[in-house]
């Protein structure tokens, strides 16, 4: 994992890098994560590239887009929530709250996060700030 993550070191705080590394290791090894990881930054900050590399690292078959999740689905190692989930969505917030309570790994990437999730979800977030614009 260090190969693809190391290239991101110059573009994020050291503490954010360590949080991201630990979160992904736990997700890869199917260990519990009790927060939703938020990758936040302006357009052209590398969020999409980083997410694509995360998908490759975890394995595409082990990841599910939150919009595709059904209760009958087998739980993947990692859920992704794209920025298309703008504005508070009651169903999304309830699903995220439930998945956090079961310590499932969830990553949201977007320009902003305030106003997307309810306060009970916002209390369980780990924010990675992508400040550099390419």
Q: Name 36's bridge partners.
A: 106, 125
92 is a domain residue: yes
47 is a domain residue: yes
134 is a domain residue: no
Averaged over 52-61, what is the pLDDT?
95
Which DSSP category does 84 fall into?
Answer: T
73 pLDDT higher than 80: no
43 is a domain residue: yes
73 is a domain residue: yes
44 is a domain residue: yes
- Which tops the pLDDT comparison, 114 or 95? 95
- Those residues whose C-beta lies under 8 Å from the C-beta of residue 133, and which sit 6 or more positions away, are 42, 43, 44, 45
Domain that holds residue 124: 2-129
Task: Report CA 43 to chain centroid distance, whole Å.
Answer: 17
Cβ–Cβ under 8 Å, residues 96 and 69: no
Q: What is the pLDDT of residue 116?
A: 83
Q: Give me the number of domains the chain comprises.
A: 1
Q: What is the CATH classification number for the domain harbouring 62?
A: 3.40.50.300
What is the tens place of the pLDDT at every residue in 114-128?
788 888 888 899 999
Q: What is the pLDDT of residue 1?
A: 57
């Amino acid at each position: 994992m260090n190969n693809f993550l190391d290239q991101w070191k110059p573009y994020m705080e050291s503490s954010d890098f360590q949080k991201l590394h630990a979160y992904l290791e736990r997700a890869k090894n199917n260990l519990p994560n009790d927060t939703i990881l938020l990758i936040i930054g302006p357009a052209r900050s590398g969020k999409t590239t980083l997410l694509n590399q995360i998908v490759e690292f975890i394995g595409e078959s082990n990841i599910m887009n939150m919009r595709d999740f059904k209760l009958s689905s087998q739980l993947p190692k990692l859920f992704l929530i794209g920025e298309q989930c703008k504005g508070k969505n009651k169903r999304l917030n309830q699903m995220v709250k439930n998945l956090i309570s079961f310590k499932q790994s969830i990553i949201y990437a977007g320009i902003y996060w305030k106003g997307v999730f309810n306060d009970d979800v916002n209390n369980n977030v780990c924010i990675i700030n992508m400040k550099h614009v390419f």
